[in-house]
Amino acid sequence: MESAVSVMNQLDNLQPENEQPESNPQEGSFADILQAFEESHSTAQAGQSVQGRVVAIHENHLLVDIGQKSEGVLSKDQLEGIEVPALGQELTVTISSRNEDGALTLALNKVVVPKDWSAIEKAFAEESPVTGTVTGQVKGGLTVDIGVRAFMPASRSGTRDVSDLHTLLGKEIRCKIIKLDTEKEDVVVDRRAVVEAELKAARTEAFAAVELGSQVQGTVRTVMDYGAFVDVGGVDGLLHVTEMSYGKVGHPSEVVKVGDTVSVKVIKKDPKQNRISLSLKQTQEDPWTLAASKLTKGERITGKVVRLADFGAFVEIQPGVDGLIHLSEMSWSKKARKPSDILTVGETVEAVVLEIKPGQKRIGLGLKQAHGDPWKDVTTKYPVGAIVEGTVTNLAQFGAFLELEEGIEGMIHIADLASENRIEHPQEVIKVGETVKAQVLSVELDKHRIRLGTRQLLPTPADDFIREHKVGDSVSGRVVEVKGNRAKVEIAERVTGRCTLPGPKEDEAPSKSSSSKASITDLGAMLAAKWKEGGSAIADRKQGGVRVGQIARFKIAALDPEKKAIDLEYVGG
């Protein structure tokens, strides 16, 4: 330590710069030199290893001159197992910090090991770790005593940042010799490689200890957009966002946070990559199991529309359980072409459970069923023969569709469309949006089908005949068909009536003796009649004296305009 006398001697030998005649030369020189002295002796840094000399010994500490403007304080606790140095003895110490009084506190560099180059050379050749003590901090790294003085670059110290280097001072570490020059006594060591190798070994051991399918406790270490990393016994496992909950998760932070302790299931192990996949939701009861046990077919439920697809809409029945409303089950009407025509995401709807398949995790829902089936009373509202009115909604090659009311459509086949000429497509006689009248031809309730016709509403010869005649009128007609006691009689062009015939007279009944003789003659006549009538009937067939082809007199017994039916009564030939 420099004394006050030496300082004064420096003052005497120095001349102040830019001396002014009117100023005090001695006063200016002293201020400048004192400032320069303090600046030159205030370069001590924490972690710096320096040589010092014991200048005072007190009860609990020693004062060591380390070339600074004040002595450093070395606690006697640092001398455990070592003889107290004598006054004037030189020591190698490390600057630790400053105490409350502003004095520098020192740490003794205890390791004084004789050089053993053979052991060091062997460790270097075998790339085996060695043990050393960090003795000081120098530019670019640390000094380490491994039996000889070695240098450890800051980048190979294993600390997160250069500012953390001082935390290793005085500590015993394991490191690896990465450079050795015995002639120059140049030794470089690497702690980072050893730390990483030990960490890898620890992780491998921890990975092996985690059993696939086991449920373990872990601590959330990091939360990312796609999931969270959980420390389970020293190894990190990925808890993907899809494995956090059976319900929809917008972001992992909605479920877990850094520092949370969670119970997770190990669902996958990848030994090659030392990766573990975890699941939080699989430690909980599957909501599909609960849903399958609680829901019943035909039950009404209320849920929120969470997603729309081309084929339907998904409705959240409960967290983790979605049901599908297929497009075909959204409306009784066929107007909807896509789900967005009827539903929107976020909308709350009421639906009916149509099917439950727990094994496939499928629940089929119906929206239209919740609004009631308009086909329930269709046979009452639209009986066969009824005249109805509706709007043309669609045209196809085979016919036209007519909406009778919301959810109920009928189909008019192309053959039943009113037209004087043969048509190739319904658009030739009917247009979409047009309101038309039609007659109900048939109803298939189980298939939700109603067949209609417009051709049936056109006036026919039968309509004209019924309009021009009344019950009791006498008409003549030709018998065109006889079946038992029933005959079909043509009473006008394209107009026929039905007649119940009287029983045969006794004198007209054929005898057994004559039947065999006339069999060949009668057969020829029957064949001729069949050819003449186009195969419609046997010409000589008789019932009560009436035969096919016979012209007779009849009386109108009944007229039915709706069914276009005419009943006749036989008068005579």
Query: Per-residue pLDDT tens for 326-382?
Result: 998 888 776 677 888 889 998 999 999 999 887 788 889 998 888 877 888 888 889
**Using one digit for the tens of pLDDT, what is the confidence trace for 145-174?**
988 899 999 999 988 888 888 889 988 888
Q: Which ranges of 404-490 would DSSP assign to H, the alpha helix?
A: 461-468
Q: Can you tell me the mean pLDDT for 99-122?
A: 71
pLDDT score for 147 = 86
Q: Cα(491)–Cα(478) distance, rounded to whole angstroms? A: 7
Q: What is the pLDDT of residue 480?
A: 92
Q: What confidence tens digit (pLDDT) does each residue in 180-211 have? A: 988 888 999 999 998 888 888 878 888 888 88
What fold characterizes domain 378-457? OB fold (Dihydrolipoamide Acetyltransferase, E2P) (2.40.50)
**How much of the chain, in percent, has pLDDT values that exceed 70?**
81
CATH topology identical between 49-107 and 210-283: yes
Q: What is the pLDDT of residue 477?
A: 93
Distance CA 190, CA 151 (A): 9
Q: CATH for 287-371, among 1.20.120.140, 1.10.287.40, 2.40.50.140, 3.40.50.300?
A: 2.40.50.140
CATH homologous superfamily, domain 49-107 = Nucleic acid-binding proteins (2.40.50.140)
Q: pLDDT digit string (tens) for 550-568?
A: 999 999 999 988 778 999 9
Q: Is the pLDDT of residue 505 over 90?
A: no
The span from the CA of 108 to the CA of 229, in Å, is: 43
Q: For the segment 76-101, what is each residue's pLDDT rounded down to a tens digit?
A: 887 776 778 888 888 778 777 777 67
pLDDT at 110 over 70: no
pLDDT bin (cut points 50, 70, 90) of residue 456 is confident
The answer on pLDDT for 69 being more than 80 is no
Strands 495-500, 486-492: pairing is antiparallel
- Look at domain 117-197 and name its CATH class: mainly beta
Topology of the domain comprising 210-283: OB fold (Dihydrolipoamide Acetyltransferase, E2P) (2.40.50)
Q: What number is the average pLDDT over the span 22-45?
A: 46
Report the chain's mean pLDDT, rounded to a whole number: 80
Which two structure tokens, joined as six digits, stand for 423? 């048509």
SS3 567: strand
- In this predicted structure, the answer to whether residue 52 has a pLDDT above a threshold of 60 is yes
**Band (484; pLDDT cuts 50, 70, 90):** confident
Instruction: Give the mean pLDDT of 481-490.
Output: 91
What does the pLDDT look like over 527-556, one tens digit per residue?
444 444 444 444 344 555 688 999 999 999
- Confidence (pLDDT) at 38: 46
25 membership: H or E segment, kind and range: helix 25-40
Asked if residue 321 has pLDDT above 80, the reply is yes
- For tokens 């109108």, what's the residue? 556
Q: What is the fold of 461-572? A: OB fold (Dihydrolipoamide Acetyltransferase, E2P) (2.40.50)
- Specify the DSSP class assigned to residue 48: B
Domain spans in the chain, listed from the N-terminal domain onward: 4-40, 49-107, 117-197, 210-283, 287-371, 378-457, 461-572
Predicted TM-score of the model (pTM): 0.41
The Cα–Cα gap between 146 and 70 comes to: 32
